[in-house]
Structure 1
């Protein structure tokens, strides 16, 4: 679910209606005379009726909001999954093509990266998970075409050999793979769960024995 500040900011109309209902119920004065009440209920009956009505309205609005929020989260998760898949395919194709031809078309992977970055920036929930999404969007690999030339002191600017481009492409594939793993992790977790699992991995990494030492990392 979402916290009250995010709800108020993103769905102000719903928030205002719930607040109005609660305020209206709270405004009923139990000590005020109830001229319209019958002998069986009295003023207390009117207050109870007003409170129950306000609670019913609030529950209905909160239920509607929860349904819309759930639908939005599902839509964003699906969009992120599709953007991740498109980026993975286009990156794999481009790097293979670029290793063979330094002039290989870069437009497809560039557009796929932009879509994935946009999806990451829209991760719901805020907090550490949202911040991680923004940061990952900024550092996704292949923000620009890899350099295919080098400046040689003897021969001047020359095109990298195919073997050298193959090595660079392989290193970029590893970076892409790592980024895709982070995307999958962000997609498959809620904000709280993401925070807990991230903290757990950090602790585990710190406690993992260092080669050549008998104990954990200090």
Structure 2
């Protein structure tokens, strides 16, 4: 009887050590996986977020805090739908995001492995998205990293800068409405708000 108990104890101890070793390996594998996850993947995990909880809040380089849902992603930018109903859609460079606040369940969900990613969206740079706004002649407000805002229509977008025709919000881009022009480097952009009604989807 004592030997039976002895072997049962050994089996229990071995099983316990095996479970602990497997848990340690799983934890190490998960730590290794998380060490390779870029911010873009975390944001991708928020695209199909349940809308019942508080929307994420994005603190931008100009000090603005945008409460918004993630609606799309490019190679180096994110599309946001602000919680304020009358606000236009927002495009923000990933490098302009200072912090993201969200409920803990969303934080954990964003860290889970994501499914297959669109190779097309991974090639759509900020310049590509802005050139689409040029094509559609969408009026924008460009919020610069130092806090100033420029309003107008983007005439051209290069690889690392854009040309903006300045005019008042809500007015069309007509020669007599344009008050000036600016070249704006992408590095100076904190975020871009599209005219209300325009969409990034």
For the criterion TM > 0.5, the same-fold answer is: no
Bigger Rg over Cα:
1
Of Structure 1 and Structure 2, the greater helix share is in 1
Of Structure 1 and Structure 2, the greater strand share is in 2
Q: If the length of structure 2 is used for normalisation, what is the TM-score?
A: 0.30
Q: If the length of structure 1 is used for normalisation, what is the TM-score?
A: 0.29
